[in-house]
Structures are given as structure tokens and as C-alpha cells.
Structure 1
Amino acid sequence: MKSVIFLLIAIISEVIATCALKESASFTRPVPSLIVIIGYGVAFYLFTISLKQIPLGIAYAIWSGLGTVGTILVANYLWDEKLQLAQLAGVILIIIGSVMVNLFKQPSL
């Protein structure tokens, strides 16, 4: 259970860092740039801790799916970045594909 909590906090940290990238203006603004560096550092550290209990493929599927959705929601709220229907469908397909590839992966021989 702790691993799932570490993974969720890692995802939140990654979404914050990703959104701070936009505000960093190519790392010319110090505070958002610092948020990016710290946010990704925390995200990857906690992600590695979560991997002690959660298989890598499953953890990455959750990470990428929730991270994508979280980033889209924050970008929509902060910068009014709307998705067109086709873009939304594409994002949903990416998430479904990522989950399916990792959940239904056959063990290697």
C-alpha cells in the first residue's frame, strides 16, 4: 500500500514539474525552474521507491496514464488549453494502449 502512495505522490510531483516547465520560460525564470528541478527529482526518487513493490510495467502504465490526464487537467485550468475531440480521443487511446500493453504482457520465454 505504501508503494501505491509513493507512486501517486510521484505522479503529482511530476505533473507539477511538467506544468512548471511552461512557466520557466526555457529556464529563464528562477522560481519555476527550481520547481521543475525539485519536482522531477522528487518524482523520480519516489517512483523508484514504488518499484520495490509494484512491477515496472504496471507502475509506468499508471504513471504515464495519470500523469497525462493530470497534466491535461492542470493545463486546462491554468492556461485554458482545451483539447479538440480528436486530440482527446488520441490521449484516451494512448492511455488505454499503455495500460493494455503493460497489463496483458506475456512473460518472456
Structure 2
Amino acid sequence: MHTQVHSQSRARGGLIAWACLTVAIVAEVVGTSFMADAARHGGYLGYAVMAVALAISYYFLALSVRGIAVGVAYAVWEGLGLTLLTVVGIVVFKDSLSVQQMIGLVMAAVGIVCVTLGEAHTS
């Protein structure tokens, strides 16, 4: 019985850590998107939103490492943030990517999947 309770608690802690990492990634994407908008169009409100969102992002990233290895959490945070920001750049800011850049992003995404799957098996 004790082992079952411990494994349920550990699973819940891991789920909370991944939820915190998800919040950190979303906040990073929001903050960096507002930074890009402010840099391109001016205005201090965008920089203010950026500062708050990035502070939230780092806070939740820090919380996530309670249940996820720091290297894994950082790799997923950075990699998914990069991928999502690329999508925002293309959709919102009308950025374009070269074939080489697209290949690099696909390689980064594959690496993130490998790192994440490795974390799931070592927990």
C-alpha cells in the first residue's frame, strides 16, 4: 500500500512539474513575441509585457526542475519555445524561413522528442 501511495505521489509530482514547464514555455513565447512586436513597432507596453512574461517563465521553469532534470527541462523549454516562436514569427510577423532553417528546426524538434522520451523512462 505504501509503495502505491508513493508512486502515485511521484506521478502527481511529475505531472505538476510538466504542467509548470508548459506554463513556462507559454509565458516565454508570449514575452518574446511582445518583445519582437515592441522592437518592430515601438512602444513601451510591449517591453513591460515582455518583462513580466519572461519573469513568469523563469519562475515556472524553476518550479519544473523540482520534478524534471534541469537539463531536460531547459532543453524542452528552449526547444519548444524556439519552435513555437518560429510559428508565431511566420503567422503573426510574416517571417520566412530558408530550407536550411526549416531542416534545423525539424532536427531540434526530433532532439526534444528524444530528450523528453528519455526523461520519461528514467523517472
Q: 1:99 to 1:64 in 2, by over 3 A?
A: farther
**Contact 1:64 1:95 survives alignment (8 Å):** no
Provide the residue aligned with 1:4 in structure 2: 18
Please, what TM-score do these two structures have when normalized by structure 2?
A: 0.73
Alpha-carbon distance between aligned partners in 2 of 1:97 and 1:31, rounded to the nearest angstrom:
35
Are 2:54 and 1:45 aligned?
no
Give the secondary-structure state (helix, strand or coil) at the position aligned to 1:79.
Answer: coil
4+ long deviations beyond 3 Å = 94-104
Residue in 1 that maps onto 2:102: 88
Point out the structure with the larger helix share. Answer: 2
Q: Is 1:24 aligned to 2:6, yes or no?
A: no
Shift of 1:86: 1.3
Q: Which amino acid aligns with 1:82?
A: S
Q: Mind listing any 5+ residue stretches in structure 2 that lack a counterpart?
A: 1-14
- When the two chains are superposed, the root-mean-square deviation of aligned CA atoms in Å is 2.2
The unaligned stretches of length 5 or more in structure 1 are 105-109
Residue aligned with 1:24, SS: helix
Scaled by the length of structure 1, what TM-score is found?
A: 0.82
